[in-house]
Chains A and B, each alone.
Chain A
Amino acid sequence: MDGTLMTATVAELVRQDPRLRPVFETFGINHCCGGHVGLAQAAAAAGAPLERLLTALRETQATPGTLDVRGLEPPQPLVRVLERVARLEPGETLTVVLDRRPIFLYPLLEERGLTHETDEPEPGAVRVRVRRG
């Protein structure tokens, strides 16, 4: 996960997981206009301690909720979802937003004993709710 955190730009991280936005705001990092830089550079510019920022981002990412994997090159959406659902506890649900139906993801979810249902809340967005147990 740190590999992604350290290689993606701030804007990409927020786009992939909007829950990270308040974390950046807390640390005084501009995720919109100044979001084109990497995490280390953004933290340095805002005078934020990188280790604390990373810990906060990791904790937020570790919390089940919504995962937006639109605009990522294959197989990144599949990787991100499988990494996240590995941490799902019984009874927990993860909502994933994708560009299209993840036809190759479904069997992998089923192999792991996860149930899923898919809908299309708006054109160009597919939502998959993944639930363990």
Chain B
Amino acid sequence: MNLSRAPCASGSDAARPVAALPLTFLATAAAAFLAAALAAPWVAAALTGHYYQPALFALTHTLTLGWITLSIIGASCQIVPAVLERPLASARAQWVAYGALLIGALGMVAHFALAEWIGLAWAAGLLAIGVLIHVVNLAVALARLPRWTFTARCTALALGGLVVTLGFGGALAINHLRPFIPSVFPMLHVHVHVALLAWVLPMVIGVAAHAYPTFLLAPEPRGWLGGLQLWGLALGVPCLAIGVLAVPGLVAPASLAVTAAIGGHLAWVAGMVRRRRQPRLDWPLRFVLTGTAGLALAATLGLGFAFEVLTGPRAAAAYGVIALGGWVSFTIAGMMLKIVPLLVWSRVYAPRVGRQSVPSVAALAWPSAERVAYALLLAGVAALALAAAAGDGRWIARAALVVAGGAVAFAAALGHALAHLRGQPPLPAVRRLPVFGAGR
């Protein structure tokens, strides 16, 4: 029997979960998503040509660094205490990481847009400092874990993937100043795939194994499919990188290993949906499940490239839209629409439960805005992928406008929850009153 008394020492800031930290990361990430979506129609014409263009690099890094990476790191600030049951090693260090990541990402996007490579290298260096602080902070927390759950293993795998992604990105940035990479495109493809498959995907499957059953009210998935996901990624992604860079014969088997890992994740999610006790799928859950379908589609397209059924920059642009928009963005948006109201509620109203009447978490959500965001983003991303594949600039611009509309609705839904952070009256003296509170 494992007995512990008051695991969160009273008054200890380090031990106490801090909602402000994940909320700040997530709100910044949502702002980056909105900025990228609003900018997309302006750079739509670039999608008709080759993807190797400064404007598209600025756009994709607004998404990958600002939207995706800040979301995942922000979510990690919540996952470590809530799921792994350990406090962050240092909340203060995480705030420093936030500053470095924000300024670094802003600098990188600006210098990509200007095609100014010295500034890009400096900004990338600052970003690297932020990433390394985060990695060390989480690694210290992970090292103290009493038992290594599936989510903990996925988090460790993702941290390794983040460092490797940073390494490839840094090499590409330095290559702009002092060319040393004989062929840039294979390195660029590895950078993208390591980011998606070794950083983003392990975090998604690790969080999914815990958060999806929590929200779907389903049993937590267990069994050999977990091992398939971990080993498929741990072996498949390095082999894929080696295959793309040096040993082409490795690409196909490595892709199959990664696809098997994704298949394991999809089977787990399908099982959770089938066995859920949650009678109604709300809009955030529909976002998440649509993101899972987007992953299946992206994996299929990825296999197409691995087996050379698909080739060329237009197909690659469509593949990128499906992966970043259809899979990652829908998954993150759904989780954010679930987690942000919960975090705001925890920060503002949880201390009041049992003392006064408080609104439910559902009252912090704005289902109408969520529904509009879902419809516009789904239609926009699908149209954007098709238009990019066709290389039709006019349709790309129209689809990008629809995506921008969806992003505005998404931001409005989040803003509705975040608005509860402002103007709350101070807590009254402790009284024992009957109270009402209901979850979402």
B6 lies within 8 A of chain A by Cβ:
yes
B304 lies within 8 A of chain A by Cβ:
no
Q: In the complex the two chains form, what is the Cα distance from A65 to B432 in whole Å?
A: 18
One digit per residue, 1 when the CB lies within 8 angstroms of any chain A CB and 0 when it does not, for chain B 255-283 equals 00000000000000000000001100000
Residues of B within 8 A of A108 (CB): 350-351, 353
A106 lies within 8 A of chain B by Cβ:
yes
B424 lies within 8 A of chain A by Cβ:
no
Instruction: Please judge, given known A-B contacts A73-B278, A100-B85, whether A79 and B438 are in contact too, CB under 8 Å.
Output: yes
B430 adjacent to A112 (CB under 8 Å): yes
A118 lies within 8 A of chain B by Cβ:
yes
Instruction: Please judge, given known A-B contacts A82-B353, A104-B350, whether A75 and B439 are in contact too, CB under 8 Å.
Output: yes
A103 adjacent to B439 (CB under 8 Å): no
**Which of A18-26, A27-35, A45-53, A83-91 lies at the binding interface?**
A83-91
A73 adjacent to B217 (CB under 8 Å): yes
A120 adjacent to B436 (CB under 8 Å): no
Instruction: Please judge, given known A-B contacts A3-B438, A4-B438, A78-B353, whether A120 and B1 are in contact too, CB under 8 Å.
Output: yes
Q: In the complex the two chains form, what is the Cα distance from A111 to B435 in whole Å?
A: 18
One digit per residue, 1 when the CB lies within 8 angstroms of any chain A CB and 0 when it does not, for chain B 412-428 equals 00000000000000000
- Count contacts on B: residues with CB < 8 A to the other chain: 40
Q: Can you name the residue of chain A whose Cβ is closest to the Cβ of B85?
A: A101
B16 adjacent to A107 (CB under 8 Å): yes
- Count contacts on A: residues with CB < 8 A to the other chain: 34
* Chain A residues numbered 1-25 whose CB sits less than 8 Å from any CB in chain B: 1, 3-4, 7
Q: In the complex the two chains form, what is the Cα distance from A107 to B345 in whole Å?
A: 15
B3 adjacent to A73 (CB under 8 Å): no
A79 adjacent to B342 (CB under 8 Å): no
* Chain A residues numbered 54-111 whose CB sits less than 8 Å from any CB in chain B: 71-76, 78-79, 82-83, 85-87, 100-101, 103-104, 106-108, 110-111
Q: Output the least CB separation between B264 and chain A (Å).
A: 22
B433 lies within 8 A of chain A by Cβ:
yes
Q: Can you name the residue of chain A whose Cβ is closest to the Cβ of B82?
A: A103
Instruction: Please judge, given known A-B contacts A75-B350, A103-B8, whether A86 and B355 are in contact too, CB under 8 Å.
Output: yes
B354 adjacent to A110 (CB under 8 Å): no
Q: In the complex the two chains form, what is the Cα distance from A35 to B174 in whole Å?
A: 66
Among B7, B81, B437, find the residue whose CB has the most chain A CB atoms closer than 10 A: B437
Residues of B within 8 A of A83 (CB): 353-354, 435, 437
B81, B217, B350: which contacts A78 (Cβ < 8 A)? Answer: B350
Instruction: Please judge, given known A-B contacts A75-B345, A104-B82, A119-B3, whether A85 and B354 are in contact too, CB under 8 Å.
Output: yes
Residues of B within 8 A of A (CB): 1-8, 10, 16-17, 81-83, 85, 87, 214-215, 217, 277-278, 342, 345-346, 350-351, 353-355, 361, 430, 432-440
**19 new A-B pairs (CB below 8 Å) besides A73-B214, A83-B354, A115-B6?**
A1-B434, A73-B440, A74-B214, A75-B346, A75-B350, A75-B439, A78-B350, A79-B437, A83-B435, A100-B85, A103-B8, A103-B85, A107-B16, A107-B17, A116-B5, A117-B4, A117-B5, A118-B5, A118-B7
